Amino acid sequence: MRYTVLASAVLLLLLPRAAAGADPDVMSDLHVTIRTYDTSSLPPDARQAAIATATGILALAGVTAVWMECDAVFVRSTGDPCLAPLGRTELSVRIVRLPPKPGHAGILPLGYSLVDTKARSGALATIYADRIAGLAVNCNIDFGLLLGRAVAHEIGHLLLGTPEHADKGLMRALWSRESITDSPESTWVFTTRDARSMRVALQTRAAEQFAHAIREFLILNP
């Protein structure tokens, strides 16, 4: 019983304020850890540009991104954090190559996210680097910049917990040559509504992760 009382007190003190009904717009220090698994052999400058772009877009939404490169996961060294189960505030982004079938014409997906629509949550996204590279060339835009936008877009799906798209902003469905070349850079961000929903979702994940840690503590210290 002593441990239960102590744990409850700690939980009330440290649980994210959103769980107690605080305004998500005044919350700070919202972190999401993103593990990247690149099998596409991205050029280092494109990788850096993509991470910088995605980090900036998420920061504008009030979310701090912490990146963990897990490309050499096959090494399987003892204690490798890339091999640990994902925490509630961790996501995985795979960057792969998937060229279109010969003779294909029309719209191609640039990536996808696995989302549990009932739980409104997701943890794994996949990005098609070669398709984004081809679109970047067609639009005469920096590959790393466009890749970063695509990564942030898929992270948005995971945090929002929905495969649905918006009519405008970063979460728009159609990334055509016209929309990319004609839309100002300032429009390639999350809408105010989406940003707020992402913060609320991340606060909920953090609360769940902390509550899980408390339960584990109580199990190990009966």
In a domain, 9, yes or no: no
In a domain, 67, yes or no: yes
- CATH number reported for the structural domain that contains residue 71 in this entry: 3.40.390.10
Spatial separation of the C-alpha atoms in residues 85 and 203, rounded to whole Å: 20
For the chain, what is the domain count? 1
In a domain, 6, yes or no: no
The string of DSSP letters for 107-157 reads ---SEEEEEETTTTEEEEEEEEHHHHHHHHHHHT--HHHHHHHHHHHHHHH
In a domain, 2, yes or no: no
Per-residue pLDDT of the chain (222 residues; tens, 9 = 90+): 333 333 333 333 334 443 334 344 544 579 999 999 999 999 999 999 999 999 999 999 999 999 999 976 555 666 788 888 899 999 999 999 998 777 666 678 999 999 999 999 999 999 999 999 999 999 999 999 999 999 999 999 999 999 999 988 999 999 999 999 999 999 999 999 999 999 999 999 988 876 766 666 567 676
In angstroms, the first-to-last Cα distance of the chain is 8
In a domain, 13, yes or no: no
In a domain, 119, yes or no: yes
Domain with 63, as residue range(s), is 29-99+108-215
In a domain, 19, yes or no: no
In a domain, 10, yes or no: no
Which residue is associated with the tokens 């696995």? 114
